[in-house]
Chains A and B, each alone.
Chain A
């Protein structure tokens, strides 16, 4: 059974960097059959895909959503079997519930983290 466990601060000050981590159990961040995603949800923006990280034949790939491109990085850590989100220069508009999720090849976002409400304080 795959489980994704999120951790990170609930409050971030404006202009600083939002950082969250997603611990994976039951699968591997270096799997060739999955991508590892960050998605957020707010009343004003709905569900918004932020980006993903994944390996194919030992090569690392990243894709980022257009709304956060340039401010985001998603990094896998194979030694800890986790992946992290870093979103810099945050504003109150970045206040949202953040989810990590696995996208399984041949399926879709089949496992999600529990969600973390992150509030950006001005």
Chain B
């Protein structure tokens, strides 16, 4: 069971805005950066957002993220069919002295 929790699924229609939440504690999200990853079946995760709200070059600005207290969220605006993937949040955990990942959210584009 992950110390950082995400909803197992989310969905939206093309063009919609969807958000995915990530909830933790003061030892992880509350005190450290949150990062987000996108993963398609059979491929390695891809860095989508780093340090709470920064996009690597090449990531569309349709993807944004924020953090407040011990929670974080990823927002995808102008949803497209190609956004259908699994999304993971991650943070360093001071109590565990290691990186923790959320359980992942499967995004379905209806």
Q: Do A and B come from one complex?
A: yes
Q: Hey, which bits of chain A sit against chain B, CB under 8 A?
A: 37, 46-49, 51, 63-66, 99, 101, 106-110, 112-115
* Chain B residues within 8 Å of chain A by Cβ, number: 24
Q: Hey, which bits of chain B sit against chain A, CB under 8 A?
A: 2, 33, 35, 37, 43-47, 50-51, 54, 56, 88, 90, 96-104
Partner of B98, one of A46, A66, A107: A66
Q: Do the beta carbons of A47 and B97 come within 8 Å of each other?
A: no
Q: Do the beta carbons of A49 and B101 come within 8 Å of each other?
A: yes
From residue B103, how far is it (CB to closest CB) to chain A in Å? Answer: 5
State the total of A-B contacts with C-beta under 8 angstroms: 58
Cα distance, A66 to B45, chains bound together (Å): 22
From residue B22, how far is it (CB to closest CB) to chain A in Å? Answer: 13
Query: Which residue of chain A is the closest to B56 with respect to CB atoms?
Result: A110
Given contacts A65-B98, A99-B44, A114-B44, contact A109 B37 (CB under 8 A): yes
Please give 13 more A-B residue pairs, beta carbons under 8 A apart, in addition to A108-B50, A114-B44.
A46-B2, A46-B101, A46-B102, A46-B104, A47-B90, A65-B98, A66-B96, A66-B97, A107-B50, A109-B90, A110-B50, A115-B43, A115-B44
Cα distance, A48 to B102, chains bound together (Å): 9
From residue B39, how far is it (CB to closest CB) to chain A in Å? Answer: 9
Q: Do the beta carbons of A49 and B98 come within 8 Å of each other?
A: yes
Q: Do the beta carbons of A108 and B44 come within 8 Å of each other?
A: no
Cα distance, A49 to B98, chains bound together (Å): 7
Most buried by B among A37, A46, A99: A46
For B90, list chain A residues within 8 Å (CB): 47, 49, 108-109
